[in-house]
Amino acid sequence: MSETAVVEVKKKNEALFSKKNKRLITDPLNDNNPITIQVLGICSALAITVQVEQAVIMGVSVLAVLILGNLIISLLRNLIPSRIRIIVQLVIIAFLVTLVDLALKAYVPAVSEKLSVFVGLIITNCIIMGRLEAFAMGNKAWPSVLDGFGNGLGYAVVLIIVAVVREFFGSGKLYGFELLGDPTSGAETGLYAMGYMNNNLMILPPMALIVVGVIIWIQRSRNSKLIESH
- Tens of pLDDT, residues 76-104: 999 999 899 999 999 999 999 999 999 98
pLDDT of residue 14: 66
d(CA 213, CA 192) in angstroms, rounded, equals 37
pLDDT score recorded for residue 229: 58
At 189 the pLDDT is 44
**Would you state the pLDDT for residue 199?**
76
pLDDT, position 206:
84
Q: Which residues of the chain have pLDDT under 50?
A: 1, 3-10, 186-193
Question: Quick one: pLDDT at residue 99?
Answer: 93
How far is it between the farthest Cα atoms of the chain?
88
The pLDDT, as a whole number, for residue 195 is: 58
Angle at 163 between CA 215 and CA 116, to 5 degrees: 125
* Alpha-carbon span 135 to 45, nearest angstrom: 23
What dihedral angle (degrees, nearest 10) is formed by the CA atoms of 130, 135, 136, 139? Answer: 170
What's the pTM value of the predicted model, to 2 decimals?
0.82
